[in-house]
Amino acid sequence: MSKREKEYSDVMEDLYDLVLDPTIHEYEREALLKAKNELEKNSYFPKVMANLEFDLRPYAIQSKLSEPVGKFYMKASTKGRFDRELGKGLAATPITFGSIL
């Protein structure tokens, strides 16, 4: 199993568990179900995760996420953000510092 397949499998497992968790809020369940359904349709994984992060962000900012969803949100958003920001940083290096020649 590749790293991406493992990540996809872990996220799907987390989504299934969270959707069934009786302690989460209905607005969290709706966002999680939307993401789960999109992933089951083989939608583009990074886009689905970005949309899920976007849907949950207002609740995270207001500290209105339940504990299980808050943990999932932190894990998912920090992993995705690190990957995106690293790519941006590497791509912007020649622009920022210019050519050394």
Max CA-CA distance within the chain? 61
**pLDDT tens-digit map of 39-74:** 999 999 889 998 999 999 999 999 999 999 999 998
> Domains of the chain: which residue ranges?
3-85
What pLDDT is attached to residue 41? 96
What CA–CA distance (Å, rounded) separates 7 from 14? 11
What pLDDT is attached to residue 87? 53
Sequence-ordered strand ranges (E) for 12-74:
none
What CA–CA distance (Å, rounded) separates 28 from 4? 25
